[in-house]
Amino acid sequence: MRRLLPRSALVAAAVLIAGTGAALAQRPATTNMTCAQARAVIHREGAAVLGTGGQTYDRFVRDRSFCEATEIGRRAFVPTRDTPGCFIGFTCYEPSYNDRFGDF
């Protein structure tokens, strides 16, 4: 009986981890939302990873405060159900030397 308990615990942990991985693989897609709905997600959450069609995705933020200290925000436009180029917020990126002078 003592051996069955640890084995069952391992099986339960494996099932839990497998289920978590599947849940993480499914992210909200902007193409299934209206522009207002996509903007609301970013506004409400502050930062969210959203699919943008097919296998593409990105992390979008409400403002620069959700970026790392050395990153800046770039305006983000995504396809939504009702708008091909919906402004939903920003993406964070590490600027290069030339970006400081507006060469991006």
Q: Over the stretch 15-27, which tens digit does the pLDDT of each residue have? A: 555 544 454 457 9
Question: Which pLDDT score is estimated for 87?
Answer: 98
| 29-79 residue pLDDT tens | 999 999 999 999 999 999 999 999 999 999 999 999 999 999 999 999 999
Q: Environment class of residue 88 by beta-carbon count within 10 Å: exposed (0-12), middle (13-18) or buried (19+)?
A: buried
User: Is residue 93 within 8 Å of 72, Cβ to Cβ?
Assistant: yes
d(CA 78, CA 25): 20
Give the pairing type, strands 56-61 and 47-53.
Answer: antiparallel
Q: Confidence class of residue 28 from pLDDT cuts 50, 70 and 90?
A: very high
Residue 24 tokens read as 């993480």
User: Is residue 39 within 8 Å of 89, Cβ to Cβ?
Assistant: yes
d(CA 86, CA 6): 52
Question: Which pLDDT score is estimated for 26?
Answer: 78
pTM for this entry = 0.69
d(CA 27, CA 43): 17
